[in-house]
Chains A and B, each alone.
Chain A
């Protein structure tokens, strides 16, 4: 099928979307050059900066979470491709020059992102900058080896709690420890039912039969591992929730944050129906659902499907999750 998208020149997708973001939220974010999204009002010099990087085409991720109480700088790459090290080191230098407390660099586990981040960290070290990196890797479809687990929507609670800790004046080590604790206590699984088209090439990203769904789908539409007949909302919720609870070894009485993230073309109606089932199952198992979000936080164009994320919370993580923040696509008052 021919691509139907409202775009101009394919090579201008990224600069145009970032310009749009800055123009739509002029009190929150601005563009530096054509690929760095930064806070309009920088925080105090004594506070830690939180910087991230990632490909574009996943809006509102990742640049939509730049703002008070979350990110200070987001380095945007091309469509579905990580930005290179030159732009990342530019962001780190900028963040480091504005802060006496150091920089936390949040990286989602994807091959290109990690390579750029590693080169950037090598350079930052050589320049003697106070930067620490945290890798998010919570996608259980990658198998037992943590290195094989991709970073999916779990970036959101990591940005949130690390951003809140930084905003409250915690040290770099303390911000890193909070981010690590969030990362270690979260798990995500994704499912797709329909492919997306790459907005620059117009090509479908993968093939999926009319009556199929695929579990373990990546953020860039890269195909997953468990292909099966399309199931009902309740059955799908169960198929995804069970392995997540098992992998995180959740016990009755524990407190969970649950995030359902729409991939782009799955309706809020469907997400709410699935969420209802998740809440029921948790209740029946005696697991406490203490915080939740249902919406679109990282998308893959018009891919249909969703990511289900669960995270074990403790009083400090809940306090940081509840702290005020004011980013274009995440506001807590």
Chain B
């Protein structure tokens, strides 16, 4: 049973997250073309390339260094608000007191909370504004609830992925109040937010990646 995330586990989690995004990139662009300029899928492909190469064989065993590098590399995607928020999230995950070489359920939760806090400093968006935050905030909250009740890491990741997906799906009925799409108002209702959808795909990947490491195909 894998109860800690070290470099190899993180590498599999990021690889699986990249795979989830790659399989859905066309849908992400399609969702983005409703309220944006239709390039979110292309941006996310570049984001997950950077995410994956940050944990390539030979990368640091110090998870804080690794997360900082991944975040900074994603910021360099030059993909506007999406890559900016995700890069800030990953780089921000390094700003914790947790052990630098291994993260248990509490450690990973604390890292995600730090990442969310960093991203929140950049975006004033709140849950309900139809942005990435609609998936990210509940995912991190689910991790916290799981960590506090002593849940296994893999189950915590499963509930985070479920919360992120539910959060992303909830954006369907919302009106955009932040970013470019806010200028569309009522017209954004009825379609899922592409950024929130991407976050849900990343968390689904985190779960699948860790599930693979313990020899469990899980929900994949």
Contact = CB atoms under 8 A, between A and B. Distances in A.
Contacts of A205: 33, 37-38
A200 B41 CA distance: 12
Nearest to A35: B78
Interface in A100-134: 110-113, 115-116, 118-119
A80 B80 CA distance: 8
Given A84-B75, A115-B122, A115-B123, A222 B183 contact: yes
Given A115-B123, A198-B38, A87 B84 contact: no
Interface residues of A, number: 38
Nearest to A142: B183
A221 interface: yes
A220 B78 contact: no
Q: Which of A87, A112, A113, A216 has the most CB of B within 10 A?
A: A112
A83 B43 CA distance: 12
Contacts of A262: none
Contacts of A116: 75, 84
A119 B122 contact: yes
B123 A203 contact: no
Contact of B180 (A79, A115, A119, A218): A218
Nearest to A89: B75
B79 A216 contact: no
Contact of A200 (B42, B84, B179, B181): B42
Interface string B103-128: 00000000000000000001100000
Interface string B52-72: 000000000000000000001
A311 B106 CA distance: 55
Contacts of A112: 79-82, 84
A84 B35 contact: no
A223 B183 contact: yes
Given A119-B88, A203-B33, A83 B78 contact: yes
Q: Which of B43, B84, B178, B181 has the most CB of A within 10 A?
A: B84
Interface in B168-205: 178-185, 187
Interface residues of B, number: 35
A77 B80 contact: yes
Contacts of B35: 222-223
Contacts of A148: 182
Contacts of A220: 36-37, 180
B39 interface: yes
Interface string A193-228: 000001011011100000000001010111111000
A86 B75 contact: yes
B100 interface: no
A141 interface: yes
A84 B83 contact: yes
A223 B75 contact: no
B29 A201 contact: yes
Interface in B198-218: none
A86 B178 contact: no
Contact of A216 (B75, B87, B183): B183
12 contacts: A78-B43, A79-B39, A80-B37, A84-B75, A85-B75, A87-B76, A119-B84, A119-B88, A141-B183, A142-B183, A203-B33, A218-B183
